[in-house]
């Protein structure tokens, strides 16, 4: 497999206005393989968002390096598309105008960007809502619009920072299955942040558990649960066994964070 993203001996220090220094990540190394669905799992404040912000080029490591396809990431990286927890849609634009926005900024003509936008709206099953406004959609539908807008830019990697955290439990499960379907069709590499073990087990090929701050790679779990995955997989003995192993790794860090 081809390594698409790489962090090598990365540390990140944030400096406050009063001269305080917070070590968010320390000596972290990890690879993301092309076509992989990788979940980063850990307690609040362990550096999960900091890692993917470095992959996106929003911030730089204090030491070490982050690379995309072997090239150092030195600024905002358009080949890495970001999906946040907040939907970040323009409320005054229709669904299709939101999806087309990045293409319009690139100077792509109306006909071509309309065709591409409709293609990805079809992929996320929202073709019939192209002319609706975001406020007319449910939370899950708005997040699907966000995913379509990201895919329209044709990134190498989707970086997803707890994109389903604000959804109710049932909608969240539906969106997890939808995301797996979208990845199966699009073949995109996905790096997904969560603090939910069940979500990681439903989605991921590999799960990286991070230590409490400063974030380090504590343990890596390969997820061989049968695909395609449905919520019913949670009833399988293999699921329970792997969940217990991951929980024990996370529990240690929760305890350390509280003490």
User: pLDDT tens across 37-55, in order?
Assistant: 999 999 888 899 999 999 9
Q: With helix as H, strand as E and coil as C, how does the chain read?
A: CCEEEEEEEEEEEEECCCCCEEEEEEEEEEEEECCCEEEEECCCCCCHHHHHHHHHCCCCCCEEEEEECCEECCCCCCCEEEECCCCCCCCCCCHHHHHHHHHHHCCCCHHHHHHHHHHHHHHCCCHHHCCCCHHHCCHHHHHHHHHHHHHHCCCCEEEEECCCCCCCHHHHHHHHHHHHHHHHHHCCEEEEEECCHHHHHHHCCEEEEECCCCECEEEEEECCCCCCCCHHHHHCHHHHHHHHHHHHHHHHHHHHHHC
Rounded average pLDDT over 189-193 = 98
**pLDDT confidence of 20, banded at 50, 70, 90?**
confident
**Domains within the chain, CATH numbers bracketed:** 3-79+157-258 (3.40.50.300), 83-154 (no CATH)
Per-residue pLDDT at 64 exceeds 80: yes
């Amino acid at each position: 497999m081809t390594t698409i993203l790489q962090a090598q001996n990365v540390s990140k220090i944030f400096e406050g206005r009063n001269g305080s220094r917070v070590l968010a990540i320390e000596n972290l190394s990890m690879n993301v393989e092309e076509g992989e669905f990788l979940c980063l799992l850990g307690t609040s404040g362990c550096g999960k968002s900091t890692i993917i912000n470095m992959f996106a080029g929003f911030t730089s490591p204090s030491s070490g390096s982050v690379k995309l396809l072997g090239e150092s990431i030195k600024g905002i990286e358009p080949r890495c598309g970001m999906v946040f927890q907040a939907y970040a849609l323009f409320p005054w634009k229709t669904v299709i105008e939101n999806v087309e926005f990045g293409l319009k900024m690139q100077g792509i003509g109306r006909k071509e960007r309309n065709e591409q936008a409709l293609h990805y709206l079809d992929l996320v099953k929202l073709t019939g809502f192209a002319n609706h406004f975001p406020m007319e959609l449910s939370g899950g539908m708005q997040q699907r619009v966000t995913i379509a807008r990201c895919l329209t830019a044709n990134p190498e990697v989707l970086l997803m920072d707890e994109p389903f955290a604000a959804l109710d439990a049932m909608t969240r499960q539906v969106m997890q299955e939808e995301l797996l379907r979208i990845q199966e069709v699009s073949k995109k590499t996905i790096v997904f942040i969560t603090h939910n073990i069940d979500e990681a087990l439903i989605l991921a090929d590999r799960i990286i558990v991070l230590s409490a701050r400063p974030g380090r790679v504590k343990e890596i779990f390969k997820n061989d649960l049968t695909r395609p995955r449905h919520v019913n997989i949670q009833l399988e003995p293999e699921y329970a066994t792997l969940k217990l192993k991951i929980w024990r790794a996370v529990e240690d860090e929760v305890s350390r964070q509280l003490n």
